[in-house]
Amino acid sequence: MSRAQQIGAALMPWAGLVIGFLALAVVHQYGSDATFDDCLAASPGPVFVVAVIGLLVCAGSGLVSWRSYRGSDSEIRRVVSAISVGSAALFMFSIVLAMAATLVLPPCFA
């Protein structure tokens, strides 16, 4: 196994936590910037598209952590993987709420 494969295998359990959090942060930041920069020019379409992409990335990272959970014999890796899968699910729920807000709330709500 090469060095890159060893590093990838060591980081797999953390994917749902780290990548899921980054996906949520990007979705939140993009939505905030689109709203507060010029709310009259912001349309919900691009914000919704970024949220869908973030949701897919977050789901993928949770799946990577789940596969690490299923394929591991180490108890520590299984605990980290389980926490990462739960975190990815929580981040996905938060992104879904942001998606619903883009569809329901007008751009200049506040």
Residue 78 lies in a domain: yes
Task: Give the separation between CA 15 and CA 90, rounded to whole angstroms.
Answer: 14
The pLDDT value recorded for residue 57 is 97
Residue 64 lies in a domain: yes
Number of domains making up the chain = 1
Q: Which two tokens stand for residue 61?
A: 């990272």
The mean pLDDT values, 10 residues at a time, for the chain of 110 residues are 84 92 94 73 81 96 92 88 96 94 74
Task: Give the separation between CA 19 and CA 102, rounded to whole angstroms.
Answer: 23
Distance of CA 98 to the CA centre of its chain: 12
Q: Which two tokens stand for residue 32?
A: 């905030």
Q: How far is CA 36 from CA 29, 81, 103, in A?
A: 10, 36, 17
Residue 110 lies in a domain: no
Residue 94 lies in a domain: yes
pTM: 0.86
Residue 55 sits in which domain range? 3-104
The pLDDT value recorded for residue 40 is 65
Residue 48 lies in a domain: yes
Residue 42 lies in a domain: yes
Residue 109 lies in a domain: no
